[in-house]
Structure 1
């Protein structure tokens, strides 16, 4: 009985880790986006035309960004470099963006 409980707890822990991670999403934002965007709850974007991430949900549902992030954003603003995330990275970034909506 104990071993079944241990296995169940281990599987629940793994399942929780397998889902989108706001922490990993924040790491992606800091590495790829912070040069132009304010990626946290406060601050001004270093590039004036780059919207702060905390305001993106006011423009459109952030979930709508998944396709653009995985297929490659060509331009979000004039000086934005083209980049592409793998599906897991995109989901992690979306999970992080959702934390900024609160």
Structure 2
């Protein structure tokens, strides 16, 4: 009788453990469609010169990596430049004029890959 109880407990535990990965997979957040659309735009229109992901070097050494753009520019300020044609200081760049939904998607993507801001150090109290 004791053996049957322990067998049932063991079987129940094994089933419970086997379903844990399924529960995590079901609860896993899906990528934001707007961010995905922005990533696709960046890959299509920008990756020939820029590193558009979180890692890697830009194919054009003068073109900034997208993961560092927030250090150079407020990302929300890029919307106007992207709608009217962006001018840059890193050599020849094709003129791009994006639609408003494309601009929102591209900026959402850029924001999604920026590293978290480092907390500023507070000056020591006198």
TM-score range for the pair, normalised by the shorter chain length: 0.7 to 0.9
TM-score by length of 1: 0.77
Aligned to 1:70: 83
For the aligned residues, what is the CA RMSD? 1.6
Which gives a bigger RCO, structure 1 or 2 (Cα 8 Å, sep 6+)? 1
Unaligned 5+ segments in structure 2 are 1-31, 116-126
Runs of 4+ displaced beyond 6 Å = none
> Paired residues, what number?
84
Contact 1:75 1:82 in 2 (8 A): no
Unaligned 5+ segments in structure 1 are 1-18
Distance 1:79-1:72 versus aligned 2 partners, 3 A rule: same
TM-score by length of 2: 0.63
Aligned to 1:34: 47
- Whether 1:95 aligns to 2:108 is yes
Contact 1:20 1:88 in 2 (8 A): no
